[in-house]
Amino acid sequence: MQVSALAFDAPRQTAMPFFNLEARREFTKTEEWIFSEGTMDRPEHEIEEELFQRSREMNRKMLEAHIRARGQGNVGPAVEVHDENGTEVHTHRRVQERHESTLFGEIGIERVAYQHPGKESIRPLDE
């Protein structure tokens, strides 16, 4: 199957600072925690385990921000789908949310889906 856009919207935006505010907050909280008075007397293995968990959450938020910054996959008013049965134009657009498991945990992703009656939706960023 081959998918092509019929017209293009403005090019996708590059990462903007607000996309990763949650990851920055997580980093700041972790930095404050690791140098706090309460951690100085704890065993190193406890600090290591806690730091691992906190950094994993920060990385999950960073990855989610990166994927959001890539955009939802809006490639224009419609997409053409070419396969062995011919060509169909998917013109109905809607934003769908899905969840994806990653090395860092589950993240939420919004995608523009192009639909055609009786056919599977097409999500250009996922094709």
Which band of pLDDT confidence, cut at 50, 70 and 90, is reported for residue 16?
low
76 phi, psi to nearest 5 deg: 135, -170
pLDDT at 76 over 70: yes
- The domain of 108 spans 2-126
Tell me what the mean pLDDT of segment 93-115 comes to.
94
How much is the pTM? 0.75
Kindly list the strands in the beta sheet with 2-5, ordered across the sheet, starting from the edge strand earlier in the chain. Answer: 2-5, 79-83, 86-90
For 82, phi then psi, to 5°, come to -110, 125
Number of domains composing the chain: 1
**Spatial contact of 114 and 92, defined as CB atoms under 8 Å apart:** yes
